[in-house]
Amino acid sequence: MTQRLHLVFGGELVDPQSTRFKDVSKIDVVGIFPNYAAAYDAWKEAAQRTVDDAHTRYFIAHLHRLRDEETEASPTEELG
């Protein structure tokens, strides 16, 4: 069975209308979660902590979508 891992991360953006981080070295990695529900709860908690800062946003990345379990090696594994 494929694991459906999700990464929750965020930080200060250059512009609240974009998704470009002001300083990638300061990205807050909240964690990796085993399902969307757990990731959503963590995202919501992090987002609510920074609700007064319009330049800070949090995201959920679907890590399981980066891999194609049907092939021997996914494109990311082939990069090295």
Alpha carbons 46 and 65: distance in angstroms, whole number: 23
Q: Is residue 1 included in any domain, yes or no?
A: no
Of the candidates 69, 42, 71, the residue with the CA atom closest to the CA atom of residue 58: 42
Q: What are phi and psi of 2, to 5 degrees?
A: -75, 135
Q: Is residue 79 included in any domain, yes or no?
A: no
Q: Provide the domain limits for residue 23.
A: 6-71
For the chain, how many structural domains are there in total? 1
Task: Tell me how far the alpha carbon of residue 41 is from its chain's centroid.
Answer: 13
Per-residue model confidence as pLDDT tens for the chain (80 residues): 567 899 999 999 999 999 999 999 999 999 999 999 999 999 999 999 999 999 999 999 998 777 665 655 545 454 44
Q: What pLDDT, on a 0 to 100 scale, did the predictor assign at position 80? A: 46
The CATH number of the domain where 26 resides is what? 3.30.70.2400
**Stated pTM of the model:** 0.78
Q: Is residue 24 included in any domain, yes or no?
A: yes
The per-residue pLDDT for range 26-41, each reduced to its tens digit, is 999 999 999 999 999 9
Q: Is residue 55 included in any domain, yes or no?
A: yes
Q: Is residue 76 included in any domain, yes or no?
A: no
